[in-house]
Amino acid sequence: MTRESPAPDPTLLAAYRAAEYVVPIGSRICRFRIGEPVSEPLGRWLDEHGAAGWVSAFNPCSRPLPLLENLQRHQRLWQHLRAEGLAALVGYSADPEGRWPDETSLLVPEITVERLNQLALNYGQLAFLWLEPGQPPRMWLAHPDGPRPDQPPSS
């Protein structure tokens, strides 16, 4: 039986799709977007580490929190991953139009989509990203019955 979960606001999902995601890979700052090919350094990193997830603990359900509270939430997520034996690279997401503040996030290799879904739910996130070697990043919607691939509106 599928539990009903309210669909996120389409405007909010559009903002997630329009965001720029930024992470340092070695000595390079890599920027990527949902549905677009990743840069060569990030592509090499994915080839080496395999699929990875992008998740944040900032601003649960996209409700802005004070910076200190967001940083405390981020620290708990970081410690949670470390306790599970998972490494992560710290990055951030940015709104190119400047309406949303930057959000610290983590790029986590060696994790499953299902585990990311559970972490997203535990930290009040509506969505997370999935990156696979040779594929553009995809957004998934967090859901109690399992993650749902984002279905952007047709053009």
- pLDDT tens digits for 76-113? 999 999 999 999 999 999 999 988 889 999 999 999 99
Question: For residue 110, which amino acid is it?
Answer: E
Rounded to 5°, the CA angle 105-20-8 comes to 75
Alpha carbon distance 135, 111 (integer Å) = 17
Domain extents in the chain = 10-145
Average pLDDT of the residues in 115-126: 97
Average pLDDT, the chain: 93
| Residues ≥6 apart with Cβ < 8 Å to 139 | 13, 16, 17, 34, 127, 128, 129, 130, 149, 150
- Give the pLDDT band of residue 4 (cuts 50, 70, 90): very low
pTM over 0.85: yes
| Residues ≥6 apart with Cβ < 8 Å to 46 | 38, 52, 131, 132, 133, 134
> What count of Cα atoms within 13 Å lies in the side-chain half-sphere of residue 155?
0
Token code pair at residue 71: 């940083």
Grouping H, G, I as helix, E, B as strand and the rest as coil, residue 5 is coil
Alpha carbon distance 154, 73 (integer Å) = 35
User: What is the per-residue pLDDT for 2?
Assistant: 42
CB atoms < 10 A from the CB of 153, how many?
Answer: 8
Token code pair at residue 130: 């999935």
User: What is the per-residue pLDDT for 6?
Assistant: 58
- pLDDT tens digits for 41-90? 999 999 999 999 999 999 999 899 999 999 999 999 999 999 999 999 99
